[in-house]
Amino acid sequence: MAGVDQTATAPVLTPAMTASARSLAASLPDLMVEARQVANTVATGWHGRRRAGFGEDFWQFRPFQFGEPARRIDWRRSAREEGHLYVREQELENAHTVWLWSDLSASMRFKSDLASTFKRDRAIVLMVALAELLARSGERIGLLGHGRPIASRSAAERLAMTLSHLEDDTARPSVGAVRRFHEVVVFGDFLDPADEIALELSHLSGSGARVHLVQVLDPIEETFPFTGRTEFIDPETGGRITAGRAEAWKKGYLEALGRHREALRDATRRPGWSFLIHHTDRPPADVLLALHARLSAGAVHTGVAGGAA
């Protein structure tokens, strides 16, 4: 899990990291298009939890409507366009703050013949599509460990732009800005040791945030269809192991995967938290709708629609 850490250190860049970062930057325009298509697909079932209202933070300008009190007109903004009047809307104080993060490490740069996309690319599409949907709903959105969350219609584009400039796509972000009632959504394969993931999640638990894990797996990682002599390569370390009869390993592998997943479920059995599974051969819209239900359930559990930034 290239998920969370409480400290940030300067990464030691390697040629492989640089090449990976350049590959990610080159693919982001196409992934943005796909993310927007996914967001448009699920938008009809997505209901925002925040609107204009009484608050301290600026949200947007909108055209003045006949019948509104004249005191609501922002004369400075209106002076920029002759013949048009604008109202300055503030952000409703119960807006959600949602932090997003995606594991971009080597284990995510995998695609089998059973899927049409890499795990990394699907995770990015899901993250950016979620950002797009949240931005349309007026939520505050931030990339974990990279600046402050913003409430902007262009939040998804800005998030993608930040991703394109990451020098080390394996670095773990700081969680120091996460506060009580914030939402943290992390996309990854979560194949690191379960006790390490649980320790990282405990840092977020102490902040009072609600955490949602979306495990993105290739279908071959669920079915283990290998037979005969097969060599397996660890994408993180480059280590290799050879199975003389891979089919003999299937039962043990699936049992280990089941235990690992149950440990992840245990780590997320907290009020308002959730754990979802997505396979890269399935439509991304399905998991986004399920994630929306989890985010909404978290808000209901606390009895508020959001928390202070």
Which CATH number goes with the domain that contains 182? 3.40.50
Q: Running DSSP on this structure, what letter comes out for residue 71?
A: G
- pLDDT at position 220 is 96
Question: Average pLDDT, stretch 204-233?
Answer: 93
235 and 138 housed in the same domain = yes
- pLDDT at position 263 is 95
Report the helix count and the strand count for the chain, using DSSP H and E.
8, 10
21 and 132 housed in the same domain = yes
Contact 151, 131 (CB under 8 A): no
Q: Which residues constitute the domain of residue 76?
A: 58-90
86 and 167 housed in the same domain = no
Residue 205 lies in a domain: yes
- Strand, helix or coil for residue 203: helix
Residue 6 lies in a domain: no
205 and 72 housed in the same domain = no
**What is the spatial distance between Cα 72 and Cα 129, in angstroms, rounded to a whole number?**
34
Lowest-pLDDT range, 17-21, 45-49, 172-176, 198-202? 17-21
72 and 149 housed in the same domain = no
72 and 105 housed in the same domain = no
Residue 4 lies in a domain: no
23 and 64 housed in the same domain = no
Residue 186 lies in a domain: yes
The domain tally of the chain equals 2
19 and 161 housed in the same domain = yes
- pLDDT at position 10 is 40
Which position has the higher pLDDT, 303 or 52? 52
78 and 105 housed in the same domain = no
Question: Average pLDDT, stretch 25-50?
Answer: 76
Contact 180, 208 (CB under 8 A): yes
Which position has the higher pLDDT, 153 or 275? 275
72 and 151 housed in the same domain = no
pLDDT, tens only, 84-142: 888 887 654 456 899 999 998 889 999 999 999 999 999 999 999 999 999 888 889 99
Residue 7 confidence (pLDDT) above 80 = no
Tokens (6 digits) for 143: 């990339």
- pLDDT at position 76 is 86
Lowest-pLDDT range, 126-135, 239-248, 288-297? 288-297
Q: How high does pLDDT run on average in the chain?
A: 81
Residue 259 lies in a domain: yes
